[in-house]
């Protein structure tokens, strides 16, 4: 197994040359585009890793899975899906265009930026610190890493330059999707995107989802099986943005990518996989990470379909 994973990382390392590091968030543009790593944690507790598996990166859109989970736990399904839809968009993750034209006017799903910002507004707490604090504690618990924290530079960089997200949030406030103070909501969103992790952390989170919302080492049930399933289903239909259909065919497991270069993948009942490669394709997915997942899926017959 270890040798196989080493070979898969080596084989895909050339792919990083085909991608580009995200630079629309200035702090992200400083990372080495050649990094490539993977961690696989299986339900028996075995951990395999290779390459730059211990390099740190920020969760970015990967955080949208767990913020959705918390919003569902806090509010129930009915309230959440009154505000956000369940359909893939076919547009870029930060697209603004359908916000106004959809009837009723609401973001199409919780994995695009607009949807995730609406979801952040539903997390309970008396102010943005308390809301984000609850989300961070959840991340620490399910990643089995109580040291997780935000990368302050990335957080401030995104807060300073996140005008497209800000525009969508103010629009959603205007039409009543967001009921809270917009800057407070954005603060929670920018912070969740800036949580710093490595491949092992997201492999653990993936394994927790694979294990139906139960932490495998402790047996603690953190969320219902139904909510864990909802999150995984969104990962299949919308997790790789407007490349989700192709990814379902080529890899075939629930996955969520982020512009920091990470992809968290879930093999139901079996394993969590974390990959990191900051060179992204034109849709914002890690090129090398995608390649590693495609090869792992082929090698171990992981597709759920």
Task: Kindly name the residue from 40, 251, 259, 275 that is annotated as catalytic.
Answer: 259
CB nearer ligand GLN, residue 28 or residue 267: 28
145 annotated to bind ligand: no
14 annotated to bind ligand: no
CB nearer ligand GLN, residue 60 or residue 230: 60
93 touches ligand GLN (CB under 6 A): yes
Residue whose C-alpha is closest to residue 37's, from 50, 20, 56 = 50
CB of 60 to ligand GLN, least distance (A): 3
CB nearer ligand GLN, residue 112 or residue 266: 112
Q: Which of 259, 265, 280, 302 binds ligand GLN (CB under 6 A)?
A: 259
113 annotated to bind ligand: yes
Close Cβ partners of 17 (under 8 Å, ≥ 6 residues apart): 279
Site for ligand GLN in 25-64 (CB under 6 A): 60-61
64 is a catalytic site residue: yes
List, in sequence order, every residue forming a beta bridge with 267; answer none if it has no partner: 271
Burial of 289 (0-12, 13-18, 19+ CB in 10 A): buried
How far apart (Å, rounded) are the C-alpha atoms in residues 28 and 41?
Answer: 27
Number of residues that bind ligand GLN (CB under 6 A): 11
109 touches ligand GLN (CB under 6 A): no
Task: Provide the annotated binding site for substrate.
Answer: 61, 113, 158, 165, 189, 241, 259
Task: Provide the annotated binding site.
Answer: 61, 113, 158, 165, 189, 241, 259
The catalytic site residues sit at 61, 64, 189, 241, 259
């Amino acid at each position: 197994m270890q040798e196989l994973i080493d070979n898969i990382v080596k084989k895909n390392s050339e792919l990083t040359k085909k991608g580009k590091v995200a630079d629309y968030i200035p702090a992200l543009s400083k990372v080495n585009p050649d990094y490539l790593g993977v961690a696989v944690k299986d339900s028996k507790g075995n951990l395999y890793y290779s390459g730059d598996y211990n390099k740190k990166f920020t969760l970015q859109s990967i955080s949208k899975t767990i913020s959705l989970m918390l919003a569902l736990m806090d509010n129930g399904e009915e309230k959440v899906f009154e505000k956000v839809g369940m359909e893939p968009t076919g547009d870029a993750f930060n697209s603004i265009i359908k916000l106004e034209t959809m009837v009723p006017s609401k973001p199409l799903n919780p994995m695009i930026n607009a949807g995730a910002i609406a979801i952040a507004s539903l997390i309970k707490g008396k102010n943005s610190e308390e809301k984000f604090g609850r989300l961070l504690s959840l991340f620490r618990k399910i990643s089995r890493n109580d040291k997780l924290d935000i990368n302050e530079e990335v957080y401030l960089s995104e807060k300073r330059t996140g005008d497209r997200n800000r525009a969508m949030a103010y629009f959603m406030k205007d039409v009543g999707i967001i009921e809270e103070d917009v800057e407070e909501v954005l603060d929670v969103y920018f912070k969740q995107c800036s949580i710093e992790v490595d491949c092992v952390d997201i492999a653990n989170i993936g394994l927790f989802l694979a294990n139906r919302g139960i932490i495998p080492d402790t047996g603690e049930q953190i969320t219902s099986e139904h909510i864990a399933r909802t999150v995984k289903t969104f990962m299949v239909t919308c997790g790789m943005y407007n490349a989700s259909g192709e990814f379902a065919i080529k890899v075939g497991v629930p996955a969520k990518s982020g512009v920091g270069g990470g992809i968290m993948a879930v093999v139901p009942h079996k394993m969590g996989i974390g990959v990191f490669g900051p060179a992204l394709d034109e849709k914002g997915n890690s090129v090398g990470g995608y390649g590693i997942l495609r090869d792992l899926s082929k090698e171990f017959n992981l597709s759920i379909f």
